[in-house]
Structure 1
Amino acid sequence: MTITAPNRPRTTFDVEQLTCTIGAEVRDCDLAEVASDAALFDELRALLLQHKVLFFRDQHMTRAQHVGLAERFGPLEDHPVVGSDPDHPGLVQIYKDLDSPPEHFENSYHCDATWRENPPFGCVLRCVESPPVGGDTIWVNMAEAYRRLPQSVKERVRDLRARHSIEATFGARMPAEQRAALHAKYPDAEHPVVRTHPETGEEILFVNSFATHLVNYHTADNVRFGIDYAPGASDLLRYLISQATIPEYQVRWRWTPNSVAIWDNRSTQHYAVQDYWPAVRKMERAGIVGDRPF
């Protein structure tokens, strides 16, 4: 497979880079118009590859327009636990208010749905209602996280693979029978610890809070005594997952109603800060089907 770096995007839009490593705010942009204009969409997609997450304010889109924009990137996928809007399949409603159960799936650094064999390409997330303060989301450049690992660690992890599980995360609070059914329908997926971006060729550190263990660590090269494997392998995985917490790789976005984020799920992680209770936070997300990491 031949991978070529994307062309540098045109400058139709007013684009402000937000940090040295990730994120840009795009102004003078009507996303509903972009969804129906091939040239504008191509420019937006190039910007996404460059900055990894794009932010927009004052986007007064209908749900149908939201879905239509996301579908320009590819088919949408439902979520087996959260579900989606019945009138707009693939549009997941993430509503946090006083009636919501105390779920804490979002406030960990994660890459969406890596428990799938084909994790999502990316997402289009729109803020419906935001707290007066708090409820920010953090995104992390995991290509930069890999690039800045010590060389000795890169050599150690290059050929490793990790298991990713929905059963151990979303399924943990379910009764045993329901959890087993979830696992049967969505068995654990195995992915490389270091994946290659299929469009840019970047190497990406691809472990997150859905990763449960390294599946091919216990070899003669890595394990002299039992302690090298337990807790040695889990210590290494924990170290790799912790790289997402480094501020130098991050951008933090403060939501306002009708603001939108579009991110490349293949090269980023994110963290939804849950510091706003008892305020309300309502978000709607369209996740886009991706490919199998290699």
Structure 2
Amino acid sequence: MDHIKDSMHRATNRSAFRVVRPLTHKPLQHWEEGQGDGDWEVGEDEADALVEETAVGSERDDDRADQPFVLAKPRGQVPPPMPVCPLCRGAGYLRQDVPYGHPDFGKPLECGCHEKMRKEEEQQRLKKQSQLDGLPRFADATFDGFDATVPGVKQAYQSAYKFAMRPKGWLVLVGPNGCGKTHLAVAVAKERQDLGDTMMIQTVPDLLDHLRSGFSSSTYERLFDQLRTVDFLVLDDLGAQADSLWAQEKLFQLLNYRYNSMLPTLITANHLRMDERVASRLSDRGLVTMVMMDQAKDYRPNNAPI
């Protein structure tokens, strides 16, 4: 601190001066918690920055010159650095251990830490576009909140739970209004999201309206590509849409892509009257598990008042 005292001594020998706050530079370079009362090690240039000459002197300035400098400690501790992945050392990619001439030689392999971060960011974007899981009606749509003792829903509950734990192929729930199809679909989607999958939930009539409104823009291409490639897709109320040729074509393109790619998909429907190409793929028992809930009743008229 001797160089600070020298700077102040030079300043007090001048005819006029005033003390100002330090500039927005960073004087906290060598301070560590527990060192005295918070004295900082400051260079000579930084000490000179604490004093500014003025053209007009005053008694108040002279009085202020006799006051010691008080350098306050920072309000909070400096946050610790983010942990670095021990595998990729923060690079996000790994070099594959393959011999020269191998097709993958020299190709970067995405590290698990980078993949997890990328999926989390992507899911935040997809969540804004999903239509059901954010609605108050489905805020508590979980397996624990589903009454599996109601007649006609036990098989659907068991199939949905099994699909949530191991989403292999497609699951199709077919039944009347109000039997709990959408509740189970949202519960499955939430489980998959918690387990790290990117997920989208779309009500088919609303989805087609959204696609139609952005058909001539980049919004359409981006949304349609997300629907085709997302890890887990829920299509609610398939068959409730207006049955136009355009709607049939878009749904076929979407479902055919996921069918050929064997991507996990959950579909709810009131009936199976739909485009023959789509109906044919839904009848593939090698990929699709279909649960008919035709014995279930509409639970809504028996709901207790909120």
Q: TM-score range by the shorter chain?
A: under 0.3
Higher helix content, 1 or 2: 2
Larger RCO, structures 1/2 (Cα 8 Å, 6+ apart): 1
Larger Rg: 2
If the length of structure 2 is used for normalisation, what is the TM-score?
Answer: 0.23
If the length of structure 1 is used for normalisation, what is the TM-score?
Answer: 0.24
Higher strand content, 1 or 2: 1
